[in-house]
């Protein structure tokens, strides 16, 4: 029983991965599910789709590995964060579709809270900005707009949860209504200092406390998978939101360690230890995934358009036929020829927070080719991430810490060697790619393995982390600073437009 099963429930697909004790991938299964767009700015999932695809991939991953559930020591769960589900405790039926983290329908409610002067207090308790991104105002919308929902919630008939809670409810046959601190920290309803649901926040959003799940450390007893699902009972020992899980899977356990996930967007987190730190540079504070103990925190910044800019080259401009071609096209020119591409297709995220900004391409000449634009597109991912790390380092120094000394990377786009070299050149620090890039699922597996005793502690997990390649900076700091200044100039032009 030295295997761990990680359930990775994402925004567009459900995946399950079997890891061995050394953290190596044994088998994997993945299934996409339907995206629902009822009107512009609204994004929903059918919660039953999340459950059925997740269960199917778990069974498939075990089958592909030639294992039964009896061979597995424990289950870990990681999930898309902030996505909101409300269901009937008696029937288990959702009262409405899951409202996805990308959904913006609650923006008016958030604007009213900001205008009423609540932003500073909410940030002091939660580490978050008041934004429709987070779960609290999505839950408020369901209670206010679904007929009978608020009255049923006040009678204690309904349960709220992020996707991890929904899956655990299903896996345990309705026996456990529970979440972990890292997911709870994304709701606007959880005090990350006390690690408890906060009565002041619940009152501010008019949320009945009876709705809320029990919140536990990320490595804990979350219940037992019913034998009907996988053939044997299995303990659920680890749960974490996807980005905190990736930080854990990268063995970033100490203050000053940072990771960046290069996916559709980019998500950078820097561990700040036991210090709750409010960013002065456009970042948010979140709870780390961790075993039981004193609260640990991280600063987080999100880039809205990361790898998605490559998809735009493929599907919008039709410059390439597949995403894998972008590196060769970009490498066919020595530089971007003065071209700057700011991919503010859905506004700019941290550290700029300019939701009204739109994309731009500047610096075009008669000599500009599609190769220059492709290189500028790749560079835009690195520029945005460099701006995030600069903000993190400034926050760290202001709090008496030290700047980040290396960046650990994961996610689909981190396999692009050119992008990783550009990133190292702009940052002026090593960019380190691990042997196992499935760090989100690996973090959940490690949390479960800690709880069930498969691992002795964080030191063992740190020793198990292995680098596949390190990209060292080759650009002078003077040149890197000049390039970042050119990027910031392009951003200002985009925002001004």
**Separation between Cα atoms, residue 369 and residue 373, nearest integer Å:** 7
Residues in CB range of 285: below 8 A, 6 or more apart: 123, 127, 128, 192, 272, 276, 277, 278, 279, 297, 298, 299, 300
Position 1 pLDDT exceeds 80: no
Average pLDDT, the chain: 92
Residues in CB range of 332: below 8 A, 6 or more apart: 371
Please report how the helices 107-115 and 135-145 are oriented relative to each other, as an axis angle in degrees rounded to 10: 110
Residues in CB range of 271: below 8 A, 6 or more apart: 247, 252, 253, 254, 255, 256, 257, 258, 288, 296, 297, 298
Tell me which range, 122-131, 173-182, 267-276, 286-295, is most confidently predicted by mean pLDDT.
173-182
Looking at the chain, how many residues does it have? 497
pLDDT one-digit tens code per residue, 48-70: 999 999 999 999 999 999 999 99
pLDDT for residue 186: 95
DSSP letter for each residue of 317-330: S---SSGGGHHHHH
Question: In this structure, what is the dihedral angle of CA atoms 447, 452, 457, 462, given to the nearest 10 degrees?
Answer: -50
Residues in CB range of 467: below 8 A, 6 or more apart: 432, 433, 434, 435
Position 349 pLDDT exceeds 90: no
Please give the DSSP secondary-structure letter assigned to residue 273.
E
Residue-range domain boundaries for the chain: 3-242
Local confidence band at 308 (pLDDT 50, 70, 90 cut-offs): confident
pTM of the entire structure? 0.89
Position 346 pLDDT exceeds 90: no
pLDDT one-digit tens code per residue, 192-218: 999 999 999 999 999 999 999 999 999
Q: Which two tokens stand for residue 285?
A: 């504070």
pLDDT for residue 176: 97
Position 409 pLDDT exceeds 90: yes
Q: Which CATH class is domain 3-242?
A: alpha beta
Of the two residues 83 and 282, the one the predictor is more confident about is 83
- β-partners of residue 7 are 16, 77
Local confidence band at 496 (pLDDT 50, 70, 90 cut-offs): low
CB 245 within 8 A of CB 444: yes
pLDDT one-digit tens code per residue, 434-444: 998 889 999 99
Position 232 pLDDT exceeds 90: yes
Please report how the helices 119-126 and 107-115 are oriented relative to each other, as an axis angle in degrees rounded to 10: 110
pLDDT one-digit tens code per residue, 152-201: 999 999 999 999 999 999 999 999 999 999 999 999 999 999 999 999 99
pLDDT for residue 497: 56
């Amino acid at each position: 029983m030295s295997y761990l099963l990680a359930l990775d429930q994402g925004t567009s697909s459900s995946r399950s991965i079997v890891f061995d004790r050394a953290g190596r991938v044994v088998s994997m299964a993945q299934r996409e599910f339907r995206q629902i767009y009822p009107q512009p700015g609204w994004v929903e999932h059918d919660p039953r789709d999340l459950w059925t695809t997740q269960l199917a991939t778990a069974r498939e991953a075990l089958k592909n590995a030639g294992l039964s559930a009896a061979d597995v020591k424990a289950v870990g769960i990681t999930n898309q964060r902030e996505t909101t589900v409300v269901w009937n405790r008696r029937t288990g039926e959702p009262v409405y579709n899951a409202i996805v983290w990308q959904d913006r329908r609650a923006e008016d409610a958030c604007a009213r809270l900001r205008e009423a002067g609540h932003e500073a207090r909410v940030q002091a308790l939660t580490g978050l900005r008041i934004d429709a991104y987070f779960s609290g105002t999505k839950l408020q919308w369901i209670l206010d707009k679904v007929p009978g929902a608020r009255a049923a919630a006040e009678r204690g008939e309904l349960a709220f949860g992020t996707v991890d809670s929904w899956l655990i409810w299903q896996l345990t046959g309705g026996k456990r209504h529970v979440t972990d601190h890292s997911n709870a920290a994304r709701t606007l309803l959880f005090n990350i200092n006390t690690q408890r649901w906060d009565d002041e926040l619940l009152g501010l959003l008019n949320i009945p406390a009876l709705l809320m799940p029990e919140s536990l450390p990320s490595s804990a007893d979350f219940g037992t998978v019913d034998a009907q699902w996988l053939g044997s009972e299995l303990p659920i020992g680890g749960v974490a939101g996807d980005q905190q899980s990736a930080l854990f899977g990268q063995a970033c356990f100490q203050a000053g360690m940072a990771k960046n996930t290069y996916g559709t967007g980019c998500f950078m987190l820097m561990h700040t230890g036991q210090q709750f730190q409010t960013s002065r540079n456009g970042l948010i504070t979140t709870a780390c995934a961790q075993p039981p103990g004193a609260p640990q925190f991280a600063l987080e910044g999100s880039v809205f358009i990361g790898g998605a800019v490559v998809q735009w080259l493929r599907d919008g401009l039709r410059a390439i036929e597949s995403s894998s071609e972008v590196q060769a096209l970009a490498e066919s020119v020595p530089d971007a020829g003065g071209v700057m591409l700011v991919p503010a297709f859905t506004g700019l995220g941290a550290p700029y927070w300019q939701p009204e900004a739109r994309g731009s391409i500047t610096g075009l000449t008669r000599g500009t080719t599609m190769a220059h634009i492709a290189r500028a597109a790749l560079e835009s991912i690195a520029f945005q991430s460099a701006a995030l790390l600069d903000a993190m380092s400034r926050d760290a120094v202001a709090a008496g810490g030290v700047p980040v000394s290396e960046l650990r990377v994961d996610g689909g786009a981190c396999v692009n060697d050119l992008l990783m070299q550009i990133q190292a050149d702009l940052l002026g620090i090593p960019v380190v790619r691990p042997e196992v890039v499935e760090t989100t699922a690996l973090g959940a597996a490690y949390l479960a393995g800690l709880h069930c005793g498969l691992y002795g502690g964080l030191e063992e997990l740190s020793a198990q982390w292995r680098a596949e390649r390190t990209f060292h900076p080759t650009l002078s700091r003077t040149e890197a600073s000049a390039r970042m200044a050119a990027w910031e100039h392009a951003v200002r032009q985009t925002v001004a437009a």
